Each structure stands twice: as C-alpha cells, then as structure tokens.
C-alpha cells in the first residue's frame, strides 16, 4: 500500500477570509516566541513584508500592477526552478494540533500562459524537513484567482514556512492579500458509546480491524483511541513497522513509534497485525546499494533482509498475530516472468527474494501467520498471477499462510460478483484470506471534487458496503479478518491520492460519528422471549425488551418516527411501536400514504432481491386498519392501536409462516413509519430503522437483522 498519509482538506469560502481585518506583518514580527491567531500581508507599505525567495535568486517587489486590493501587491520574478518562489516564516502563528485556513489571491502578468501554482507548508521537525501540500490553483492573466486550503499542524515543529511554487520554472506571477487564520475550536468530539461495536457485530464471522498512525493514540483516552477500542479487535500500524520507519539506516533500528502502537494493543486486548516487511516502496536506498552506489549482490541483500526481519519480527515474537511479509509484488506491466514487479528486490534476486522473506519471517516467529498482500486482486490477470505465485511457493514448501486482498475500491467498481469470484479463486490453495486495506472512494475518476458529501452518494456507499459485506460473510470460512485502511474520513490517504480532494471512504465521519455506511453493516437488535396481550396498551412484559428508533429517512428529513420494541415466542413475533406524530391523517385512499406503521419480516434472513414465500410486509394505520403483502399472509397479523397525546401506539403480532424458530436464529426485519405531515393526503416523510432503499416492499436485501434470544 502507498504511504499511509492523513491530512484533511476542506475548502472554505474566500469571502469569509477576506472579511477578516487585514494586519500587516513585517519581517521583524515573524518571531517564533509570540504565537498569534492570525497573520495577513497586503504589501500596502510598499515592502515585501517578510516574504523572501526560496532559491535566493527570486526578486520580490511590491508593485501597483500586483494589487488585488489597495495600492500594492507582490510581484515575483527571477525564478529559474520549479521550487523557487516566495516564502514566509509562519512559525509564530502555528500551534501543534490546531488547524488553520491559509489563503491568497494570485494572477499572472499580461500575456503569460496559464499555469498551476501550489501552496505548500515546509515543516521542520527534529531537523527533518517535510513538505505538506495545502492547495493548488490554475492561474491566468485574465483575472485574480483565490487559492485557499486547510492546514493542520500534527507534529511539533521548530520551523514552519508557507511558500508558493510552480512546475513552470520561469513563471512570473502576482500575489496579494495573503491570510493565515487559526480556525475556531470545534465542539469537543465525543464518540457514540450507545451504538453496537463493530467487533461484536462480526464476532461470529471474522476479526474486524483498522489501520492507524501513532498520532491517533497520542492521547490513549481521547476520542480517537476510544473509537479504536470500542469497534476494532485488530489493529495494523499504517507506517510504523515499514522498513524506513524501523531501520532508516543500516543497523540503526528505531521502534519508538511502533512500540507505542504495540503497547496500546496490549493494554486494550486488541490483536496486532504487522505491515509490512518487504515492499518496493518505503524501503531505504541503502538496502539495495553498496558504498559506491551500485546494486549489492544477492547474498548481501539476503543478509540485510534476514537481519532486518530477525530484528523486527523477533521483537514482537508471539505478539503480532499476522504479518504482510511481501507487499505488491505482482505488476504484469513490468513484463517479468510470472507477472512479477521489476523492483530492486527482483532485479537483484529474482523471485527468490519472496521465498527468502517468508522463510526468514517463519524462522523469526513460527507462530505468526504470514501473508502475501496485494491490490487489484479482483482483476483476473493479476489474480491468476498471484494464485500461480502462491502455488509455486507452496510446492517449494515456503510457509505462506494467507493472501491479503487490499480492497481499495470505488463507489462503482469492482462489482460484487468480481469480489466474490476473487475469494473463490484462492479457495483451492487452502490458505487464509484477509481483506487488509478496505476503503471505498466516493469518486469514479481522478478529477471530480466535492465540497460536501452528497446524500445520494452517502446512501449509495452504504448500500454498496452492505452488498460487499454480504459477500465477506458468505466466505467467512475463508476470510479471517476484514481490516479498514483508516478508521474515519479525516484519517484517510484518499484525501491526498490520487489528487488532493475531499473523500469520505470509511464508516465514521471526520468527527468520528457513524455514517450511513456504518448503519448498513450493523442493523442488528435482539428480541427476548415473551408473550404480550395485543390490546394497544403497554404491558409490563415489554419492559424487558430492547428498543430502537426508526431514525433513518427514506423520504423527507424529519417527521413522524417510532420507538420500537420486539418480543417473540414459538408461535409469533411481537412488535410494539410508539409513534410520535403531531397530526394523524388517513386522508389518502392509498394505504401507504396514511399515517401508519409497516413491519417487514424475512423469516430466513435470505436478503433476496425479490420476496420469497413467507416474506411479508404488514401495515397498520393509527385506526388499526390493516394491509398485508402478500395477501396470503393476511391471517398471520393481529394488531391493536391506541391514540396518545403525541401520536399513537401500534401493537402487533405476526405468526411465523413456517416452523417455530430456535433461540439464536436471526431473521430479516425492519420497521417503517409513514407520515402525512400536513393532512393533505400526500405522504411527506418515511422513517425506517434500517433499509433506506425505498423498495422494502419488493426487496429484503436491505432489512436489518433481529436475533431471537
């Protein structure tokens, strides 16, 4: 997997930035000892106000032609390389953990061809420079262009510089009205402790995990750590166990960050997964080269590999349950035999480096499960090459325990059938399969950008996650873990790859709140045994039952909803719905447009695209008038209703269409509330427990799940 990078980008309105009062900053005021909330440069004093050239060859001049507002702006000339441009020391304004809006206006001189200009922050931490992209814009001579972006300082820094550059090495451009403003503190994030834990939902199926970076557990009791502890029983270090992190220089090992994650997993009883030992990326150059810069021999490479694996795997022997031993070794486009990637590993040692990696890892920890990990395994050609490679390794006695399917997928592809076919394709090898890096981009190309997450895409993503997890559950005998590549939409590499843009690929949003996608996977509740009297009143027996809300909207965004409880016995399923509805109406002649409660039952939890025999839709309006689909099940329904001061109660029982279920059985189940809000005969809102597809009367695949205890 590519470098695991976490950096959010949320565009803001430029007008809001410009509404702030302009404050000039001279070079003398860029003092790191004084932290302020805001810096602005408008060049109205006729100076560069602390800006200077990155390459020391640039000329920065305050001139009238460069003014976006006022009298002066900054003219940048004399650039000779792409990285040349104006920069400003902003150390004085930045505070670790805070987020800032950075903005400026740009334009080209008359006659210049349009070019892209990027705004970047150079962060110096412990003497190491990091270059953190903020935003870019296409700039022309036809008018001023606003460039604005968000920057969060995640790590302590000795120096911070914001700068502008262009791939056009001689580009001259104008800049004015630069502002860097600390964002208001958001409300404290609190995770939802009252929702089901993912690890519990899938306890009978497979491990449910996520990748993380060490900064997410810098506060072991903070909301990020709380979310990790609540929902996941497997954690993967996103970067901290890779070669460049653990052995950046020959023989100099550093486990500080990896140990922090390891200790977090140990303290909280979470399984720890190792990623990754051998990869063509994030492996330091010294591994492959000798003192003269040439490639080392195969023997030297294996010596370095063994020493590294012995040290890293040995350190966590008996503590890491699985390792991605080799990562992304299939790349048929390189034209090597067996579809292998032409990495430096391969160039020096051929396919043998893969064999040695597994042998060394097994020797270092015989108990750990050893995986070969790759992406795009849904593509037939890649799938076949990988299958054949594993078969060759098995025939040689190489200890390969499993295959990791990264599963970086999109909102549209690969198809569910492709995923199902992929898992089936490796069954004959008799090895474990894991989904190791799951996320779902909301885009279908590399150019689209959304400022906000459209509701239709939220629902589409949820439905797709549900379909995919249905495939995973189908193969739970082969799949031993499903691991997301990040726990929430703020912490995802897809905000900087393949371009910088918003993306929402995971189950929890930027504030760690469950999304539609989460609820698509955990629509489970339980019904305890009990036999109430169906009379429209709430008998004491209901007090021992679980409750849930119809709080997802199929139509509308507010309106009538219900608190629902369930019971069951050998003869019937019992449902109690306490509906909050400000105006009761059955003006429409259509039963589904009247204020009513619909109960959906899929007795065998078939999750089918059409109704099977026994599947039923049972509707009861507030006056206890019934309608049932299919009509042959009409005699199964017994109901009673009572009007209340704020709505009505529906109490219903439904006979099991076949043999009585057994304790532990799970049925498909949902409850929906229809609402004519203004009494005009039109249905204004539909609230449901789980299935937001709008076709629950035809299709049972989106129903929630009710476990009979």
Q: pLDDT at residue 550 above 90?
A: yes
* Sheet strands (E) in 238-387: 271-279, 320-327, 369-374
Least confident of 186-190, 501-505, 563-567, 673-677: 186-190
The residue out of 182, 201, 218 marking a domain boundary is 182
**DSSP of 473-501:** HHTTTTEEEEEES-SSTTS-GGGTSSSS-
Alpha carbon distances (Å) from 288 to 21, 253, 340, 390:
55, 17, 18, 25
197, 521 contact by CB (below 8 A): no
Instruction: Identify the band that residue 629 occupies on the pLDDT scale cut at 50, 70 and 90.
Output: very high
Q: What local confidence, expressed as pLDDT, does residue 257 receive?
A: 95
pLDDT digits (tens, 9 = 90+) for 102-156: 999 999 999 999 999 999 999 998 888 889 999 999 999 999 999 999 998 988 8
Catalytic residues: 328, 374, 437
Q: What local confidence, expressed as pLDDT, does residue 9 receive?
A: 31
106, 116 contact by CB (below 8 A): no
Q: pLDDT at residue 25 above 60?
A: no
Give percent of the chain above pLDDT 70.
95
Q: What is the mean pLDDT of residues 39-55?
A: 95
- 48 in a domain, yes or no? yes
Q: What local confidence, expressed as pLDDT, does residue 7 receive?
A: 30
pLDDT digits (tens, 9 = 90+) for 497-531: 998 889 999 999 999 999 999 988 887 788 999 99
Task: Report the DSSP pairing between strands 234-237 and 207-212.
Answer: parallel
Residue scoring higher pLDDT (668 or 309): 309
The residue out of 182, 216, 251 marking a domain boundary is 182
Q: pLDDT at residue 13 above 80?
A: no
Q: Give the Cα separation of 430 and 139 in Å (integer).
A: 57
Q: Give the Cα separation of 499 and 283 in Å (integer).
A: 23
Q: Which domain holds residue 130?
A: 14-182
233, 199 contact by CB (below 8 A): yes
The residue out of 139, 167, 182 marking a domain boundary is 182
Q: Give the Cα separation of 228 and 507 in Å (integer).
A: 12
Q: pLDDT at residue 14 above 50?
A: no
Q: What local confidence, expressed as pLDDT, does residue 544 receive?
A: 86
Q: What local confidence, expressed as pLDDT, does residue 264 receive?
A: 98
Instruction: Identify the band that residue 705 occupies on the pLDDT scale cut at 50, 70 and 90.
Output: confident
Q: Give the Cα separation of 695 and 702 in Å (integer).
A: 9
Q: What local confidence, expressed as pLDDT, does residue 700 receive?
A: 87
Q: Which residue has the tokens 């334009």?
A: 107
- 298 in a domain, yes or no? no
Angle 414-419-422 (CA atoms, 0-180°, nearest 5)? 125
Q: What local confidence, expressed as pLDDT, does residue 552 receive?
A: 81
Q: pLDDT at residue 35 above 60?
A: no
Q: What local confidence, expressed as pLDDT, does residue 203 receive?
A: 80
- 251 in a domain, yes or no? no
Instruction: Identify the band that residue 578 occupies on the pLDDT scale cut at 50, 70 and 90.
Output: very high
pLDDT digits (tens, 9 = 90+) for 385-417: 999 999 999 999 999 999 999 999 999 999 999
- 518 in a domain, yes or no? no
- 435 in a domain, yes or no? no
Instruction: Identify the band that residue 28 occupies on the pLDDT scale cut at 50, 70 and 90.
Output: very low
Q: Which long-range contacts (CB under 8 A, 24 or more apart) does 337-344 make?
A: 338/385, 338/388, 338/389, 338/392, 339/381, 339/382, 339/385, 339/386, 339/389, 340/385, 340/389, 341/280, 343/280, 344/280, 344/283, 344/287, 344/288, 344/295
Instruction: Identify the band that residue 304 occupies on the pLDDT scale cut at 50, 70 and 90.
Output: very high
Instruction: Give the SS3 label for residue 368.
Output: coil
Cis bond leading into 238, ω under 30°?
no
Give percent of the chain above pLDDT 90.
80
Instruction: Identify the band that residue 4 occupies on the pLDDT scale cut at 50, 70 and 90.
Output: very low
Residues 6+ apart with CB under 8 A from 218: none
Q: Give the Cα separation of 410 and 439 in Å (integer).
A: 8
pLDDT digits (tens, 9 = 90+) for 199-220: 887 887 899 999 999 999 999 9
- 303 in a domain, yes or no? no
Q: pLDDT at residue 69 above 80?
A: yes
The count of domains in the chain is 2
Q: pLDDT at residue 34 above 60?
A: no
Burial class (CB in 10 A: 0-12, 13-18, 19+), 21: exposed
Q: What local confidence, expressed as pLDDT, does residue 702 receive?
A: 76
The two tokens of residue 365 are: 């920890």
Q: What local confidence, expressed as pLDDT, does residue 314 receive?
A: 98
Q: pLDDT at residue 30 above 60?
A: no
Q: What local confidence, expressed as pLDDT, does residue 155 receive?
A: 84
How are the residues of the chain apportioned to helix, strand and coil, as percentages rounded to the nearest 5? 25, 30, 45
Query: HSE (CB half, 13 Å, CA atoms) of 325?
Result: 31
Alpha carbon distances (Å) from 403 to 427, 480, 659:
11, 11, 41
Residue scoring higher pLDDT (328 or 32): 328
Q: Could you tell me the CATH number of the domain that includes residue 633?
A: 2.60.40.1190
Q: What local confidence, expressed as pLDDT, does residue 36 receive?
A: 67
- 472 in a domain, yes or no? no
CA 524 to chain centre: 22
Q: Round the average pLDDT of the chain to a whole number and report it.
A: 91
pLDDT digits (tens, 9 = 90+) for 261-303: 999 999 999 999 999 999 999 999 999 999 999 999 999 999 9
- 704 in a domain, yes or no? yes
Q: Could you tell me the CATH number of the domain that includes residue 67?
A: 2.60.120.260
């Amino acid at each position: 997997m590519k470098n695991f990078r976490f950096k959010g980008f949320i565009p803001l309105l430029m007008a809001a930035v410009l509404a702030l009062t302009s404050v000039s900053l001279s070079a003398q005021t860029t003092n790191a000892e004084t932290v302020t909330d805001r810096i602005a440069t408008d060049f109205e004093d006729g100076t560069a106000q602390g800006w200077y050239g990155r390459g020391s060859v640039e000329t920065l001049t305050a001139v009238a032609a460069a003014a976006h507002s006022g009298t002066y702006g900054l003219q940048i000339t004399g650039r000779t390389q792409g990285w040349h441009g104006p920069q400003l020391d902003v150390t004085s304004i930045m505070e670790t953990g805070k987020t800032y809006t950075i903005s400026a206006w740009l334009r080209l001189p008359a006659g210049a061809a349009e070019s892209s200009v990027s705004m970047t922050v150079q962060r110096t931490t412990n003497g190491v420079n990091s270059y953190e992209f903020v935003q870019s814009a296409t700039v022309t001579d036809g008018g001023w262009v606003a460039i604005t972006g968000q920057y969060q300082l995640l790590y302590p820094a000795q120096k911070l510089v914001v700068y502008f550059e262009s791939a056009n090495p001689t580009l001259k451009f104008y800049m004015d009205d630069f502002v860097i403003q600390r964002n208001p503190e958001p409300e404290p994030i609190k995770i939802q402790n009252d929702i089901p834990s993912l690890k519990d939902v899938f306890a009978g199926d497979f491990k449910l995990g996520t990748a993380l970076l060490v900064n997410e557990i810098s506060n072991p009791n903070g909301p990020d750590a709380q979310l990790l502890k609540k929902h996941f029983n497997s954690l993967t270090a996103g970067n901290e166990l890779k070669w460049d992190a653990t052995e950046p220089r020959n023989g100099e090992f550093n486990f500080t960050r990896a140990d922090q994650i390891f200790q977090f997993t140990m303290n909280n009883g979470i399984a720890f997964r190792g990623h990754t030992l051998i990869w063509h990326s994030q492996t330091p150059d010294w591994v492959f080269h000798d003192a003269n810069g040439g490639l080392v021999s195969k023997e030297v490479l294996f010596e370095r590999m063994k020493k590294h694996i012995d040290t890293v795997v040995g350190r966590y022997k008996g503590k890491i349950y699985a390792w991605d031993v080799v990562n992304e070794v299939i790349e048929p486009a390189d034209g090597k035999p067996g579809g292998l990637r032409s990495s430096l590993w391969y160039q020096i040692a051929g396919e043998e480096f893969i064999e040695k990696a597994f042998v060394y890892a097994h020797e270092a920890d015989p108990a750990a499960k050893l995986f070969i990990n790759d992406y795009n395994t849904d593509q037939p050609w890649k799938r076949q090459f990988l299958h054949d490679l594993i078969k060759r390794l098995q025939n040689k006695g190489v200890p390969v325990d499993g295959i990791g399917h990264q599963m970086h997928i999109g909102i549209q592809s690969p198809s569910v059938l492709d995923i199902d076919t992929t898992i089936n394709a490796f069954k004959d090898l008799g090895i474990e399969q894991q989904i190791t890096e799951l996320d779902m981009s909301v885009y279908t190309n590399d150019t689209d950008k959304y400022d906000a997450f459209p509701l239709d895409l939220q629902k589409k993503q949820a439905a797709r996650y549900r379909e995919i997890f249905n495939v995973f559950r189908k193969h739970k005998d082969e799949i031993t873990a499903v691991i997301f590549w990040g726990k929430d939409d703020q912490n995802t590499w897809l905000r900087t790859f393949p371009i910088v843009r918003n993306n929402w690929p995971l189950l929890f949003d930027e504030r760690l709140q469950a999304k539609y996608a989460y609820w698509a996977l955990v629509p489970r509740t339980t019904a305890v045994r009990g036999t109430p009297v169906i009379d429209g009143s709430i008998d004491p027996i209901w007090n021992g039952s679980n409750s849930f809300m119809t709080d997802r909207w199929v139509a509308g965004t507010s309106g009538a909803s219900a608190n629902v409880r369930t019971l069951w016995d050998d003869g019937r399923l019992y449902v109690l719905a306490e509906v909050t509805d400000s105006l009761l109406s059955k003006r429409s002649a259509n039963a589904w447009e009247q204020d009513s409660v619909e109960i959906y039952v899929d007795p065998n939890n078939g999750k089918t695209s059409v109704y099977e025999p026994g599947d039923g839709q049972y509707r009861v309006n507030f006056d206890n008038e019934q309608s049932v689909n299919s009509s042959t099940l009409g005699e199964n329904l017994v109901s009673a209703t009572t009007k209340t001061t704020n709505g009505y109660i529906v109490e219903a029982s439904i006979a099991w269409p076949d043999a009585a279920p057994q304790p532990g059985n799970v049925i498909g189940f949902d409850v929906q509330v229809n609402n004519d809000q203004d009494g005009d005969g039109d249905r204004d809102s539909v609230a449901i427990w789980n299935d937001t597809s709008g076709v629950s009367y035809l299709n049972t695949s989106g129903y929630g799940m009710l476990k009979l205890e």
